[in-house]
Amino acid sequence: MRFETAAAPHVIAGYTVPRVMYQVLLALLPVTLVQVFVHGPGALLQLAVGVPTALACEALALRLRGRAARPFLRDGSVIVTAALLALAVPPLLPWWLMLLGTAIAVLLGKHAYGGLGYNPFNPAMVGYAVLLVSFPLEMTRWPVPLGTAAIEWSELARLTWQSFIHGPVGGPGAWDAYTGATALDALRTGLGQRYTMEEILAQQAFGSLGGAGSQWINAAALAGGAYLLARGIVRWHIPASVLAGIALPAATMHALDPGAHAAASFQLFSGATMLGAFFIATDPVSAATSDRGRLFYGAGIGSITWLIRTWGGYPDGVAFAVLLMNLAAPLIDRYTVPRIHGHAGR
Amino acid sequence: MFDRREFPSGLQLVPHKAAALERAIFEAPAPTLATVALEQGNGREARPTVSAGDRVRVGTLIGRAMDEGTVAVHASIAGIVRAIEVRETASRAGQGLCIVIENDGSDQNEPGLEMVEWDSLSPEMLVDRIRAAGIAGLGGAAFPTAAKLAAASRRPATHLVLNGAECEPWICCDDALMRERAADVVLGGQVMLRASGAARCTIAVEDDKPEAIAALESALAAAADPRLELRLLGATYPAGAERQLLAVVTGTEIPHDAYPTDVGLLCQNVGTAAAVASLVRTGMPATRRVVTVTGSGVGRPGNVEARYGTPIADLVAACGGYRSDPRRLIAGGSMTGRALPCDAVPVTQAVNCIIAATAEDLSPPRREMPCIRCGDCAGVCPAGLLPQSLLRAAGADDAELLETFGLADCIECGCCDYVCPSQIPLTARFRSARAARALRLDEQRRAAEARERYARHERRLAEAAAAEREAFEAARRRARGGPE
Amino acid sequence: MSDPSLVPAMLVAAGLAVTVGSALGWAAVRLRPNADPLVERIDALLPQTQCGQCRHPGCRPYAEAVARGDAEIDQCPPGGDATVRALAELLGREPRSLDPAFGVTAPRQVAVIDEARCIGCALCLPACPVDAIVGAPRFVHTVIEQQCTGCALCLPPCPVDCIELRAPRAAEPPGGRRAA
């Protein structure tokens, strides 16, 4: 009797890339909901533009590259890219900018380098960085968090829709009542204008822990991240080192000079800290390879984020920190090859 | 040497062992035609000592080992040699020279076989007896046992570890053996202690085998030998991989460029110990072993004692035959076993398990995607490698990078394949990269030798030419009547 | 030279020039590569068949010729394109493919003497560049397969044409460590 032949092992766990990606999407749900609650329905609108754009770009790129489109469209990675970008950009972003950012992320950030598994940079952050340097005004215009200004959610939704469809009509002044600086932005501006830390923290943009709105979003991202850790989708090395990379310098400088540096808790719960630590920095393709390398990689992202927030030209630095450490990942890999069984320590 | 006691990573796998352990070991009927392979599983072929038409008995030498790395081969049945020819085997090469013996039904033993007075023989003579008996490692690699014992005996105070971990799914022949023949395992350990001059012996067993542990404990109590001890391990795949097992049991990590015996360690399979015990009890050389026959495609899974050369089809028949459409016939476990093309292949010392696997025992065909460098493979690699980086190096065929990332240290256990979300056949890639590396190294070695020989050749020619010129000059001087 | 703030800058520049200059000078003396390793390094990349297809009497003479610039890097058929690539990388030249004028790449072969026809003339012995033929006058010769490079140089001297090239017997499958 004859039998088929095949190479060992004959049994595999049957994990799949889509399984990984859909778990990530599931973990993004709390962030999305909280952002919709705090900043209005903009996040949903951005998702509604981003996801179809990303899928279309992916299909187009695969077709141009002569690859089978279906397994890659189904793997979910491009949806994750679009979702991360949609949650990172301001909810008021006009639809054509989201479309542009997504197309850049997928076409230039991912497929120009060979598609899934080959991109040296985090595609979502490539899209984000291009939008940020090209459209600084639109990319820093966040609605004030619900509850801090006299505005109803329905009114916020109407204005969001208007901005989404038509852009910032009515000139820069018309929006001042409903949009404002984020907490990180307010901190920078305030410190630049020589206000004291107490005066700055008393502004409406600040909550008890971080930004008035962003502390809730960060808490939701932390919850999603905890889910990913518990499910074994991400390992602890990158999130822990990113958070430590932000918290350690922040706590040190806060202790030395509380008047000029915000507390570590503020840094951890404002801006894109938690989203970055658990969802963006953990993209394995563009991260360092070994566990030890990932500790350096995460610590680099955390500390560069803090450096940019403190002394850099932008209020938040997660995107640039991730891209910079993406650049450094091959170098980190070179020096962090783990000790092989039976070899002397390196 | 580095002190590392904890088992590095690995996998928790479904054992699939209960079905075959439901009944005791039983003997498979002697085959009417035995196809005894001259290569018993470690890649080195013995040289035939019989010819077609010769009469052999059980235990007659039919293949002589020409060097230390080869095992001698004996007839497993009595009868007439019908052919010496290349047949399909379970070896890496897929085929090899076999001696086909037709059973005459007499089952006569080779005359003169008698029990070995092992405690009065010198260690050297004991090793010689084990070598002559053709005993090889029964854990799957089939390396000659005597060669390891001899290497160990050249060093003082070796620590002998009997490997009863049996970590791979489906395989349970060692478990059955330890349950039923624990005294043989202990006796084999004592004999090998004497043969190797080792000071102590640890029997290492995974803690998911309570019956085997109980049997070993009472056998050890009966033997009352303070040099032997039992050591329980966590049930993790691949706890039984030699280097990893020794690191866990003794705390000594074997340097990558050394053998265990170089650092005073000796690892033998518990089945090998039982084979040594059977040799000293009866004088009968290696002619049979216990094989697990299992899988959803087998009627009644079980552990069968089979003579070498028995076609696997006969073993399956002895276990109730095939059922429910087996698709793959695996020699070994589900993680490292070789899929055999047909069931006429004979049992050798390397065949510890036969799985007749139906679709439900196998994973569906892989849907391979690009590597996303998630690092799950590095998390489970028992050798501490970065399979994802190794994969890139293999793809680029970059010999230098392959060395950096430790291709030579891959034990081909399959853990990385198992967890890969992109379902990349990593182990198969590494296996072929390792084969290419072996060829490359062989080529380099041959080139270095040729360079050396060419240099010598040139030197010799130059010297010969100089000597000839010298002689010519001298003759001319003589002819002219002395120097000017 | 009126701006006094230029002075420190110039001092720094001058200091840098002196430091870097002396470091470079030191390195040029101390870190100079060994006397003439180039021939060795080229030779190390050659397949050592000693076949002479490159029209040099052996691999080392060819390596010397390449190092002197008297021979091109594409003249070694047994090494094939892989050797040409390796040589190009070592010497910083443009990679090219093997020059077919020197022969074509073929799998490794070994010489085998038909011992029934060998008359024991010993003519093939000195022809072998790696001394892989054993024998003596009036005794049958044989080739040590492991040492034969397949250069074919022993074929022409044989008066009875009893030597031929064949594929080597299958090498042993490379063994591997396996899990138990």
- For A342, residues 6+ apart whose C-beta sits below 8 A from its C-beta are B243, B253, B254, B255, B256, B383, B409
Rounded distance, CA B24 to CA B15, Å?
18
Rounded distance, CA A320 to CA C138, Å?
83
Q: Assess contact for B133 and B279: CB atoms under 8 A.
A: yes
Rounded distance, CA A333 to CA B55, Å?
65
pLDDT in tens, A68-79: 877 778 888 999
In percent, how much of chain C has pLDDT > 90? 6
pLDDT in tens, A35-52: 999 888 999 999 999 999
Query: How many residues in chain B?
Result: 484
Q: Coil, helix or strand for B119? A: coil
* DSSP β-bridge partners for residue C134: C142
B280, B282, B284, B290 alpha-carbon torsion, rounded to 10°: -90
Query: How many residues in chain A?
Result: 346
**Range name among A143-147, A216-220, A284-288, B118-122 with the lowest pLDDT average:** A143-147
Shortest Cα–Cα distance, B453 to chain C (Å): 5
Residue B347 has pLDDT above 80, yes or no: yes
Q: What is the pLDDT at residue C180?
A: 35
Closest C-alpha to B392, from C112, C122, A118: A118
Rounded distance, CA B262 to CA B112, Å?
37
List the B353-357 sheet strands across, edge first.
Answer: B26-27, B302-307, B288-294, B353-357, B328-331, B338-340
Q: What is the pLDDT at residue C179?
A: 36
Mean pLDDT, chain A, rounded, equals 89
Q: Which domains does chain B have, with CATH numbers?
A: 19-28+112-289 (3.40.50.11540), 363-484 (1.10.1060)
Q: Which residue has the tokens 């035609």?
A: B33
- For A334, residues 6+ apart whose C-beta sits below 8 A from its C-beta are none
Rounded distance, CA A2 to CA B383, Å?
35
- Across the interface, whether the CB atoms of B378 and A6 are under 8 A apart is answered no
pLDDT in tens, A285-338: 999 999 999 999 999 999 999 999 998 888 788 999 999 999 999 999 989 988
- For A239, residues 6+ apart whose C-beta sits below 8 A from its C-beta are A225, A229, A277, A278, A281, A282, A298
Best of C41, C48, C151 to mutate (most B CBs within 10 Å, chain B):
C48
pLDDT in tens, B431-447: 999 988 988 898 888 88
Cα torsion angle, B104, B107, B109, B111, sign? negative
Residue C125 has pLDDT above 80, yes or no: yes
ipTM score here? Answer: 0.85
pLDDT in tens, C68-98: 888 888 899 988 888 898 888 888 888 888 8
Give helix then strand counts, H and E, for chain C.
5, 4
| Joined tokens for residue B241 | 């991989």
Query: How many residues in chain C?
Result: 180
Residue type at position B452 = E
Rounded distance, CA C66 to CA C39, Å?
8
Q: Classify B142 in phi/psi space as left (phi over 0), alpha (psi -120 to 50) or beta.
A: left
Shortest Cα–Cα distance, B137 to chain C (Å): 10
Confidence grade of residue A254 (pLDDT, cut at 50, 70, 90):
very high
Q: Which domains does chain C have, with CATH numbers?
A: 37-102 (1.10.15.40), 107-168 (3.30.70.20)
Q: Which residue has the tokens 């005359």?
A: B111
Contacts of A6 in chain B (CB under 8 A): 328, 339
Q: Which residue has the tokens 């120009």?
A: A112
Query: What values do phi and psi take at B34, rounded to 5?
Result: -100, 130
- Across the interface, whether the CB atoms of B453 and C59 are under 8 A apart is answered no
Residue A32 has pLDDT above 50, yes or no: yes
- For B96, residues 6+ apart whose C-beta sits below 8 A from its C-beta are B37, B38, B39, B45, B86, B87, B89
Rounded distance, CA C81 to CA C75, Å?
10
Could you tell me the residue ranges of all domains in chain A?
16-172, 181-335
- Across the interface, whether the CB atoms of C147 and B434 are under 8 A apart is answered no
- Can you give the three-state secondary structure of chain A, one letter per residue? CECCCCCCCCCCCCCCHHHHHHHHHHHCHHHHHHHHHHHCCHHHHHHHHHHHHHHHHHHHHHHHCCCCCHHHHHCCHHHHHHHHHHHHCCCCCCHHHHHHHHHHHHHHHHHHHCCCCCCCCCHHHHHHHHHHHHCHHHHCCEECCECCECCCHHHHHHHHHHHHHHCCCCCHHHHCCCEECCHHHHHHHHHHCCCCHHHHHCCCCECCCCECCHHHHHHHHHHHHHHHHHCCCCCCHHHHHHHHHHHHHHHHHHHHCCCCCCCHHHHHCCCCHHHHHHHHCCCCCCCCCCHHHHHHHHHHHHHHHHHHHHHCCCCCCHHHHHHHHHHHHHHHHHHCCCCCCCCCCC
- Across the interface, whether the CB atoms of B140 and C180 are under 8 A apart is answered yes
* Crossing angle of the two packed helices B210-223 and B182-196, in degrees rounded to 10: 60
- Report cis status (omega within 30 of 0) of the bond before B421: no
* DSSP β-bridge partners for residue A143: A179
Shortest Cα–Cα distance, B384 to chain A (Å): 5
Contacts of B363 in chain A (CB under 8 A): 10-12, 14
| Joined tokens for residue B458 | 């040139």
Closest C-alpha to A217, from A142, A274, A156: A274
Rounded distance, CA B161 to CA B174, Å?
15
Q: How far is CA B435 from CA A55, C105, C170, in A?
A: 41, 22, 14
Residue type at position B63 = G
Confidence grade of residue B2 (pLDDT, cut at 50, 70, 90):
very low
Cα torsion angle, B279, B283, B288, B291, sign? negative
Rounded distance, CA A187 to CA A177, Å?
19
Contacts of A75 in chain B (CB under 8 A): 369
Give helix then strand counts, H and E, for chain B.
13, 17
Rounded distance, CA A292 to CA A273, Å?
21
Rounded distance, CA B201 to CA B192, Å?
9
Rounded distance, CA B241 to CA B237, Å?
9
- Report cis status (omega within 30 of 0) of the bond before A338: no
Rounded distance, CA B231 to CA B159, Å?
13
Residue B481 has pLDDT above 90, yes or no: no
Shortest Cα–Cα distance, A227 to chain B (Å): 17
Buried b vs exposed e over A103-141: b needs ≥16 C-beta within 10 Å? bbbbbbbbbebebbbbbebbbbbbbbbbbbeebeebbbb
Rounded distance, CA B227 to CA B229, Å?
7
Shortest Cα–Cα distance, A89 to chain B (Å): 25
- For B115, residues 6+ apart whose C-beta sits below 8 A from its C-beta are B280, B281, B282, B283
User: Which helix H or strand E contains B202, and what residues bound it?
Assistant: strand B200-206
- Cross-chain CB nearest to B372 (options A7, A8, A17): A17
Nearest CA in chain B to A345: B2
Partners for B (CB, 8 Å, 3+ pairs)? Answer: A, C
DSSP C137-165: TTS--EE-GGG-----TTTTT-TT--EEE
| Comparison of pLDDT for A178 and B284, the residue scoring more | B284
Q: What is the pLDDT at residue B367?
A: 86
| Comparison of pLDDT for B327 and A67, the residue scoring more | B327
Residue A345 has pLDDT above 70, yes or no: no
pLDDT in tens, B11-56: 889 999 999 999 999 999 999 999 999 999 888 899 999 999 999 9
The C residues from 137 to 176 touching B (CB cutoff 8 Å) are 146-147, 149, 170-176
Mean pLDDT, chain C, rounded, equals 83
Residue B482 has pLDDT above 80, yes or no: no
- Across the interface, whether the CB atoms of C180 and B240 are under 8 A apart is answered yes
Rounded distance, CA C77 to CA C99, Å?
8
pLDDT in tens, C41-70: 888 889 898 888 888 888 989 999 998 888
Instruction: Give the pLDDT mean for B113-134.
Output: 91
* Crossing angle of the two packed helices A95-103 and A77-88, in degrees rounded to 10: 140
Q: What is the pLDDT at residue C174?
A: 39
Q: How far is CA B369 from CA A55, B30, C99, in A?
A: 18, 48, 40
Q: What is the pLDDT at residue B194?
A: 93
- Indicate the DSSP class of residue C77: T
- Across the interface, whether the CB atoms of A10 and B431 are under 8 A apart is answered no
User: Which helix H or strand E contains B377, and what residues bound it?
Assistant: helix B376-380
pLDDT in tens, B283-309: 999 999 999 999 999 999 999 999 999
Q: Assess contact for B90 and B351: CB atoms under 8 A.
A: yes
Q: What is the pLDDT at residue C32?
A: 60
Rounded distance, CA A301 to CA A307, Å?
10
Instruction: Please count the CA atoms within 13 angstroms of the CA of A270 that sit on its side-chain side.
Output: 32
User: Which helix H or strand E contains B36, and what residues bound it?
Assistant: strand B33-37
pLDDT in tens, B448-478: 988 888 888 888 888 988 999 999 999 988 8
Query: What values do phi and psi take at C160, rounded to 5?
Result: -110, 10
Contacts of C124 in chain B (CB under 8 A): none
- For B93, residues 6+ apart whose C-beta sits below 8 A from its C-beta are B39, B43, C170, C173
List the B79-88 sheet strands across, edge first.
Answer: B33-37, B95-103, B79-88, B55-56
